[in-house]
Structure 1
Amino acid sequence: MATSKWSIDPFHSEIQFKVKHLMITNVTGSFSKYAASITADDEKLTNAKVTFTAEVDSISTGNDQRDGHLKSDDFFSAAKFPQVRFTSTSASVVGGKVEGLLTIRDVTRPVTLDVDFGGIVVDGYGQTKAGFSISGKINRKDFDLQWSAVTEAGGVVVSDEVRIVAEVQFVKEA
C-alpha cells in the first residue's frame, strides 16, 4: 500500500479562533503563519496522521493592542512558547473526527475536533487537493491561559471557552 503525503495550502486555508467578549459578542482571531501535514496509508486518507504548528507571533485579531496582550505572559507567552502544536493520536479524517494532543504554552492536553471532509479534486494546475472544515472547543484555562478580568458590574470580560474554526486545503505531494 502506497503512503500519501499532503501539505497545507496556506493560500486557500484559514486558521481561526473565536472567544466571547463581555459574553455578548465574539472576537475572532487568526494565525497567519502555520504549517500542517497529513500522512496516510493511501490516497483516500485512511489511517491519517495529522500535524499542525502555528507561530504565536503571527496572531491577529485586527487590534494591535489586543494582539500584544495575547502574545504576553497573560496569555500565550510568545517569547517563551513561540508555537501552538497539534499532533493527532487517532484520525478518521474522512470519517468526521480527529483526536490528538494540543500544546499551548507548555501544557499538552487531549482534544477532539470535528472534521467535515469536502472531498478530493484535481485543480486546473494538475494538483490533487483535499478540503476540510474543522471545528472544536477548548477551555483556555486548561492550557494555562489564566488572565481574567471582570467589569465594574461583575461581568466576565473574556470567556474561558475558545472555539476553533479552520477551513483548510491540503495539496498531495508528488
Structure 2
Amino acid sequence: MATTKWSVDPMHSEVQFKVKHLMITTVTGYFQKFNVEAETQDDKFTSATSVTFTADVDSISTNNEQRDTHLKSPDFFDAANHSQIQFVGNKYEHAGGDDYKLHGELTIRGISKPVTVHVEFGGIVVDPYGQTKAGFTVTGKINRKDFGLTWSAVTEAGSVVVSDEIKLQAEIQLVKQS
C-alpha cells in the first residue's frame, strides 16, 4: 500500500496555548512558526502512521513583548538552549464519529513525556487550486511543571500568578503532497 504524505498549510493553520493569569483571566499565546507533517497509508487519516509537530520557541507571541521575552528566558522555555518544542505521534485511534485521540511524546526543554490530544477531524476537500486538504481541530492539556517550566510567583494576597495547567488548541490544515 502506498504512503501518502501531508504537510501543514501555514496560512490556514494556527497553534495556541492558554494559561490562567492570577487565576481570574486567561492569557492566550501563539507559535507563529511551526510545522506539521503526517503520513497515512491512504488518503484517509484513519490510517495515520506518523504525525510530527514542531514549534519554534522564538516565534512565541502573547501580544506583549515583555512577557514574550520572559517566556523565552530560562525561567520558562529557555529558547537559547531549547529552540523547539516537538510532538511525535505514535498512535492515532478512533474515538467515535469525527473524534480521534492522538497519543505521542511531547518534548519541551529537553524533557519528553507521553501526551494524548483530542483530534476532531474536519474532513478532506479539494480546494479551488486542485490541492487536496485535510482539516483538524486539536485540543489538549498539559501540566507545565512536568516539562521543567517551574517558574512561579505569588501575589501579596497569596494568589498564584500563573497556573500549572496549560490548555493547547490548534487548527491544522494539511496539504496532500504529490
TM-score, structure 2 as length reference? 0.96
Residue matched to 2:40: 40
The 3-state SS of whatever aligns with 2:121 is strand
- CA-based RMSD of the aligned residues comes to 1.0
Counterpart Cα distance in 2 of 1:45 and 1:138: 25
Residue matched to 2:22: 22
Q: 1:89: how far off?
A: 1.3
1:4·1:45 contact (CA, 8 Å) conserved in 2?
A: no
Counterpart Cα distance in 1 of 2:133 and 2:120: 15
Unaligned runs of 5+ residues in structure 2 are none
1:12-161 equivalence runs, <5 A: 12-48=12-48, 49-92=50-93, 95-161=99-165
Q: 1:95: how far off?
A: 4.7
Opposite residue 120 of structure 2, the aligned amino acid is: D
Residue matched to 1:5: 5
Aligned positions, number: 174
Counterpart Cα distance in 1 of 2:170 and 2:75: 25
Counterpart Cα distance in 2 of 1:150 and 1:144: 18
Per-residue displacement from partner, 1:153-173 (whole Å, max 9, x unpaired)? 000000000000001100000
2:82·2:110 contact (CA, 8 Å) conserved in 1?
A: yes
The 3-state SS of whatever aligns with 1:152 is coil
Q: Sequence identity, in percent? A: 63
Counterpart Cα distance in 2 of 1:95 and 1:20: 27
Residue matched to 1:171: 175
Per-residue displacement from partner, 1:13-61 (whole Å, max 9, x unpaired)? 0000000000011100000111110101111123311001000000000
Q: 1:66: how far off?
A: 0.1
Opposite residue 101 of structure 1, the aligned amino acid is: E
1:47·1:92 contact (CA, 8 Å) conserved in 2?
A: no
2:99·2:118 contact (CA, 8 Å) conserved in 1?
A: no
Counterpart Cα distance in 1 of 2:93 and 2:58: 31
Opposite residue 89 of structure 1, the aligned amino acid is: N
